[in-house]
């Protein structure tokens, strides 16, 4: 599949350093950060310079390469210990996205195969993870878009495109393909508060790709479904439990409930690396709670109002019974549940 203008590289490896497009500055500025240590990668993930479950996993893999580079020449035991410590820090940068742990497990396996640690072997594995993600996105885009009938109206949440993955995207990849095939009549994208990933990132990607869309505030989703005859809600996932429950950006659960009431179908698009078969259900998925300050700043305030607390979960859990289609690179599951999840993902996790 040929790349498009929107299939940008939001990160890449060059000259023994990791280059990351700072997503906090988009769409106003396209600013690149050059990282040369695992600690800097940890900060970039935690501070949302890079975000999106697949992208976080890939970037963490490159972070392990940077860790190994900084340890070259030290005693072998010290190298191994320091790299493992950096991997632990990377794993804790954002706890909900299972892709992060999945990528680090692959890197740890390579680390254990070489004594002393091989920077070249680790870099080859990080590049393989990156390349495989792009290939998986293209397969999911083709499979998911085939489900969209002509004249469909779709709504998406958060950002699931090139910026959130190796390239092309998961849910946004499906939307791109369906638009090019002429199946989509109209696209709605939520702002996605408080970081506004939909307003700042999804809208930017679609504009770069020449795909028209309508941006709505999160609270307008229900009335949009009611009045615009939305046929599909298409979202990504940060972690999917063994029973099909889905952890995704906060607000996803509400969209699934509204979709059921208004007769819209609900599609989750995610690679198998987002599936965690060791987690029995969504109640066991750790949910990241971010700093209250993010909410106050989104309201234009520098500090909390007296006596007013704030709660800032980054994710919520959508029960499997509200998911109509789960699209992965391995295939499509209609009405995901424990039994059909086990059949498709028996060797995952």
Interval 48-72: pLDDT, tens:
999 999 999 999 999 999 999 999 8
In the prediction, which pLDDT does 178 show? 98
Cα 122–chain centre separation: 23
How far apart CA 66 and CA 70 sit, in angstroms, is: 6
CB 22 within 8 A of CB 49: yes
Phi, psi of 253 (to 5 degrees): -60, -45
* pLDDT category of residue 33 using cuts at 50, 70 and 90: very high
Cβ 235 vs Cβ 267: under 8 Å: yes
Q: State pLDDT tens for residues 176-227.
A: 999 999 999 999 999 999 999 999 999 999 999 999 999 999 999 999 999 9
Extract the tokens encoding 81: 């210990």
Token pair 């976080």 is at which residue? 56
The fold adopted by the segment(s) 11-136 is: 1.20.120
CATH topology of 11-136 equal to that of 142-344? no
DSSP readout, 194-213?
A: TTTHIIIIIHHHHHHTT---
Catalytic option among 238, 245, 276, 316: 238
Question: Options 3.80.30.10, 3.40.640.10, 3.40.50.620, 3.40.50.10470; which CATH number does 142-344 get?
Answer: 3.40.50.10470
Distance CA 256, CA 261 (A): 9
What number of helices (H) and strands (E) belong to the chain?
12, 14
Query: Does 83 have pLDDT greater than 60?
Result: yes
Asked if residue 128 has pLDDT above 60, the reply is yes
- What confidence score (pLDDT) does residue 7 get? 61
> Does 47 score more than 80 pLDDT?
yes
Computed over every residue of the chain, the mean pLDDT equals 94
Phi first, then psi, for residue 2 (nearest 5°) are: -70, 145
Are the CB atoms for 189 and 203 separated by under 8 Å?
A: yes
In this prediction, residue 1 carries a pLDDT of 37
Based on the residue annotation, tell me whether 238 is a catalytic residue of this protein: yes
Cα 234 to Cα 155: distance, rounded to the nearest angstrom: 6
> Domain residues of the chain, as ranges?
11-136, 142-344
Average pLDDT, stretch 273-287?
96
State the pLDDT at residue 106: 96
Mean pLDDT, to the nearest integer, of 290-298? 91
What digits encode the pLDDT tens for the residues 35-44?
999 999 999 9
pLDDT over 70 for what percent of the chain?
97
- pLDDT band for position 348 (cuts 50, 70, 90): low
User: 1-23: per-residue pLDDT in tens?
Assistant: 344 454 678 999 999 999 999 99
């Amino acid at each position: 599949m040929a790349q498009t203008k929107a299939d940008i590289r939001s990160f890449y490896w060059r000259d023994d350093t990791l280059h990351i497009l700072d997503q906090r500055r988009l769409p106003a500025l396209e600013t690149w950060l050059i990282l040369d240590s695992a600690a800097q990668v940890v900060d970039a993930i935690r501070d949302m310079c890079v975000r999106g479950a697949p992208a976080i996993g890939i970037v963490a893999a490159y972070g392990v390469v940077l860790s190994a580079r900084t340890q070259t020449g030290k005693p072998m035991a010290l190298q191994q210990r320091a790299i493992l410590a950096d991997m632990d820090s990377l794993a804790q940068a954002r706890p909900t996205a299972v892709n992060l742990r999945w990528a680090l497990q692959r890197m740890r396996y390579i680390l254990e195969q070489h004594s002393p640690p091989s920077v070249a072997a680790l870099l080859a594995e990080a590049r393989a993870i990156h390349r495989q993600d792009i290939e998986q996105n293209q397969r999911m885009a083709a499979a998911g878009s085939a489900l969209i009938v002509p004249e469909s109206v779709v709504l998406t949440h958060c950002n699931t495109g090139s910026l959130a993955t190796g390239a092309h995207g998961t849910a946004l990849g499906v939307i791109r393909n369906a638009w090019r095939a002429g199946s989509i009549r109209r696209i709605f994208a939520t702002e996605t508060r408080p970081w506004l990933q939909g307003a700042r990132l999804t809208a930017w990607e679609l504009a770069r790709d020449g795909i028209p869309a309508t941006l709505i505030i999160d609270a307008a989703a229900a009335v949009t479904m009611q009045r615009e005859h939305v046929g599909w809600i298409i979202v990504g996932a940060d972690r999917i439990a063994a029973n099909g429950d889905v952890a995704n950006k906060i607000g996803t659960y509400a969209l699934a409930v509204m979709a059921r009431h208004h007769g819209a179908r609900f599609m989750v698009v995610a690679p198998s690396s987002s599936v965690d078969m060791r987690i029995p259900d969504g109640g066991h998925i750790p949910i990241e709670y971010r700093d209250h300050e993010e909410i106050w700043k989104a309201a234009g305030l520098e500090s909390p109002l007296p006596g007013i607390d704030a709660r800032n979960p980054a994710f919520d859990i959508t029960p499997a019974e509200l998911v109509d289609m789960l699209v992965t690179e391995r295939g499509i599951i209609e009405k995901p549940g424990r039994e059909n999840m086990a059949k498709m993902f028996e060797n995952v996790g």
